């Protein structure tokens, strides 16, 4: 498994120092293990005092590893896997240390030092190490979010930015209740400032800030719902801005933009479970009426064009019966009336010639 060695929750400079520190520790430990392996291979030629020194040093390293792992266990059991991994990555890195200490021939080494009466190392924390490895696997998808979380914490980012990342972490790691607890604490603090910002943005008619606050308001991941008065004030201000755009598009008879803006206003009301404020409804009523009439007219014209195409297709098909042609022509007449359009003369002529031809064939038969 590829595991980051440096302590990513500290600054870049501290990370580099931590990496160097860990690298030095691992290099020294690797030398010790190499010496032990050499002693195992040539025990009859090695001075017992040298073996005693290796045994004492190796046993001390095993004790330190067990102590380090014990620090991680409470966090593993409580579900705070991120904190357990953070502790494990502090120099000396637990994963790397365990890998070196669990060398091939360890059991032989323990037997030799025990027979010689030297320091016997304690058993390695295999079960807890397995749990720690599992924590690495589970937290791997959160790695990028955790890095962002630490970055914002170190750089003093605005609370709303830190809260946005924390919500994503809590959603991605639902079993860890520490995230949800922190989220609720931060939301309580954020809501105090949020109310003041809403009041200031609305009173100053700062459209940009109103939209920023509105997007924050409708975030579905709030654990503590913002007070209703914040929602009412923001939604009303947002709708007022859209109403002004609506009237501008209407004044230029831009149907598509007018329709799109009105649909966005309806979506805002639906998302927030509110009706259009009465003053705004009165203000945009003429626009809505124009939209309805224009939509009806557009639909009627579309139906007329479709009816024309359907009749042309039937006339070009030699297998079409006279009854079907008559029905299609009747439907086209109705569509033309609804749309206030005239049927193209060439289409009428084509229809009449085809029907006349069919009648002649019927008469001959």
Per-residue pLDDT, 18: 63
Block residue for tokens 């954020």: 190
Q: Are 103 and 35 in contact (CB under 8 A)?
A: no
Indicate the pLDDT class of residue 147, thresholds 50, 70 and 90. Answer: confident
Distance CA 148, CA 302 (A): 52
Q: Above 70 in pLDDT, residue 338?
A: yes
359 — pLDDT class (breaks 50, 70, 90): confident
CB-CB contact of 258 with 248 (8 Å): no
Pair of tokens at residue 57? 């040093």
The answer to whether the bond into 92 is cis (omega within 30° of 0) is: yes
Residue 9 has pLDDT above 70, yes or no: no
* Contacting residues for 124 by C-beta, under 8 A, at least 6 apart: 62, 65, 66, 98, 101, 102, 106
Residue 42, judged by CB atoms within 10 A of its CB (0-12, 13-18, 19+), counts as: exposed
> How does residue 278 score in pLDDT terms, banded at 50, 70 and 90?
very high
Question: Considering only CA atoms, which of 211, 162, 214, 170 is closest in space to residue 189?
Answer: 162
pLDDT value at residue 19: 65
Question: What is the rounded CA–CA span in Å between residue 259 and residue 254?
Answer: 9
Here the tokens at position 272 are 């927030």
Q: Residue 319 has what pLDDT?
A: 85
| Dist CA 19 CA 331 (whole Å) | 81
pTM assigned to the model: 0.57
Q: Provide the 10 A C-beta neighbour count for residue 216.
A: 18
Share of the chain above pLDDT 90, in %: 62
pLDDT in tens, 57-82: 999 999 999 999 999 999 888 878 88
């Amino acid at each position: 498994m590829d595991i980051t060695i440096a302590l990513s929750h500290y600054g870049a400079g501290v990370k580099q120092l931590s990496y160097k520190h860990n690298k030095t520790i691992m290099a020294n430990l690797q030398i010790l293990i190499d010496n032990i392996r050499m002693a195992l291979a040539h025990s009859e030629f090695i001075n017992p005092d040298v073996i005693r020194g290796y045994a004492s040093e190796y046993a001390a390293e095993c004790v330190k590893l067990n102590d380090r792992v014990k620090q991680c266990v409470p966090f593993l059991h409580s579900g705070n896997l991120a904190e357990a991994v953070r502790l494990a990555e502090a120099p000396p890195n637990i994963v790397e240390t365990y890998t070196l200490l669990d060398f091939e021939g360890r059991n032989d080494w323990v037997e030799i030092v025990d027979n010689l009466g030297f320091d016997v190392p304690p058993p390695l924390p295999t079960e807890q190490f397995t749990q720690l490895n599992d924590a690495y696997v589970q937290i791997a998808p959160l790695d990028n979010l955790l890095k962002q979380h630490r970055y914002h914490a170190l750089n003093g980012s605005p609370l709303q930015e830190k809260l946005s990342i924390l919500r994503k972490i809590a959603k991605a790691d639902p079993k860890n209740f520490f995230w949800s607890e922190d989220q609720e604490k931060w939301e309580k603090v954020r809501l105090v400032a949020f109310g003041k910002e809403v009041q200031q943005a609305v009173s100053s008619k700062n459209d940009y800030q109103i939209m920023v606050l509105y997007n924050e308001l409708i975030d579905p991941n709030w654990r503590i719902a913002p007070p209703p008065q914040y929602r009412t004030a923001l939604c009303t201000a947002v709708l007022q801005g859209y109403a002004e755009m609506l009237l501008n598009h209407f004044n230029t008879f831009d149907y598509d933009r007018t329709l799109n803006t009105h649909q966005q206003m309806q979506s805002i009301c639906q998302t927030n479970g509110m009706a259009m404020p009465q003053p705004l409804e009165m203000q945009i009523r003429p626009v809505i009426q124009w939209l309805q009439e224009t939509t009806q007219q557009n639909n009627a014209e579309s139906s007329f064009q479709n009816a024309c195409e359907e009749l042309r297709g039937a006339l070009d098909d030699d297998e079409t019966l006279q009854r079907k042609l008559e029905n299609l022509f009747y439907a086209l007449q109705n569509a033309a009336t609804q749309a206030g359009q005239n049927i193209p003369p060439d289409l009428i002529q084509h229809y009449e010639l085809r029907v006349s031809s069919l009648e002649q064939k019927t008469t001959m038969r």
